[in-house]
Chain A
Amino acid sequence: SAVISQKPSRDICQRGTSLTIQCQVDSQVTMMFWYRQQPGQSLTLIATANQGSEATYESGFVIDKFPISRPNLTFSTLTVSNMSPEDSSIYLCSVELPFGAQYFGPGTRLLVL
């Protein structure tokens, strides 16, 4: 398995501001992902964080709203830009290990007022 940490664990933000979420993993991994989990809902993939190149976004998610950085094989950030109350969610990073097993971080709980 992998040990994954996220910062911050939770935050309350004002409408129109931006928040950057950090994800750190204890070993080098090729694949890192960012998911969103809206209250009481399932998980939806936002993007794949690619090391050394631009992230790959899923339908409905755009780089201007959710810019992602992946400077190395153990770290990634997701920024939620120009936030609105609809962005209130849990944001989760995950990593894929060999043979396809994917492990999740503890999540960042975001409330936008």
Chain B
Amino acid sequence: QQQVKQSPQSLIVQKGGISIINCAYENTAFDYFPWYQQFPGKGPALLIAIRPDVSEKKEGRFTISFNKSAKQFSLHIMDSQPGDSATYFCAASISQGGKLIFGQGTELSVKP
């Protein structure tokens, strides 16, 4: 029940296309859902996060869509660029206490 399942494991997108990564969770106590971007040799960087009181959050080219009834959330990267090539992790936590449960990661490659 503590798992967060992420798909796909890898994704190849053409420059200018839309990258979509999906995550699903079971624990309805989760109330904080961040996405992290990790480049090789670096620590994960917080990209965008959402709480279940909203269904969508947009920051620049990055959008989180959240479906509370389906217990799913997804990251959309619009106008994908080669510089977006990285590994993306979704996560979930019960915000007071902060233990993050991570998805398995998606390796995104954006082709020029």
Contact = CB atoms under 8 A, between A and B. Distances in A.
B partners with A: yes
Interface string A34-56: 00000001111100100000000
A100 interface: yes
B95 interface: yes
A100 B89 contact: no
B46 A102 contact: yes
A105 interface: yes
Nearest to A92: B43
Chain A contact residues: helix, strand, loop or mixed: strand
A94 B44 CA distance: 10
**Most chain A beta carbons < 10 A, residue from B42, B43, B99, B100:** B43
A43 B46 contact: no
A37 B22 CA distance: 21
Contacts of A42: 89, 102-105
Contact of A107 (B43, B96, B99): B43
Interface residues of B, number: 22
Contacts, number: 54
Contacts of B20: none
A67 interface: no
A87 interface: no
Interface of A: 1, 4, 31, 33, 41-45, 48, 92, 94, 96, 99-107, 109
22 contacts: A1-B46, A4-B43, A31-B97, A31-B98, A33-B98, A33-B99, A33-B100, A41-B104, A42-B104, A43-B89, A43-B102, A94-B100, A100-B49, A100-B96, A101-B34, A102-B46, A102-B98, A103-B46, A104-B43, A104-B45, A104-B46, A109-B41
